[in-house]
Amino acid sequence: MVKNLPVVPTAKAGSLVETPTGITWRIQYPEILANCNICLECTLFCPDGAIVQQEGKLVLTLKLCKGCGICANECEENAIQMIPEYSGVKGVFR
């Protein structure tokens, strides 16, 4: 006898991208400075795919960023600055 297989609940591909996990944990965020030479190294070191290359440009998506600071630590040009989320007059959560 042929039985129907049970329907297994399956997540939609990439659905976590719409509701990123770590943004509310972030205590600092990166800012890319003008001296970036688009070497693209940071795009392979970011654990969250928050910095990626698009058409030869560097694109930072803050809603995916957990603020780990790896990009700033690795950039040989010192072209990324980490900025605290809560300090100073501009200390608002982005």
Return residues touching another protein (CB under 8 A). Answer: 8-22, 25-26, 39-41, 43-50, 52-54, 56, 64, 66-70, 72-74
Which residues, at least 6 apart from 42, have a Cβ–Cβ distance to it below 8 Å? 51, 58, 70, 71, 74, 75, 80
Nearer to another protein, 36 or 52 (CB): 52
How many Å apart are CA 56 and CA 66, to the nearest integer? Answer: 24
How many Å apart are CA 75 and CA 71, to the nearest integer? Answer: 6
Tell me the closest approach of the beta carbon of residue 52 to another protein, in angstroms: 6
Give the footprint of ligand SF4 on this chain (CB under 6 A).
30, 32, 36-42, 46, 48, 50-51, 58, 65-71, 75, 77, 79-80
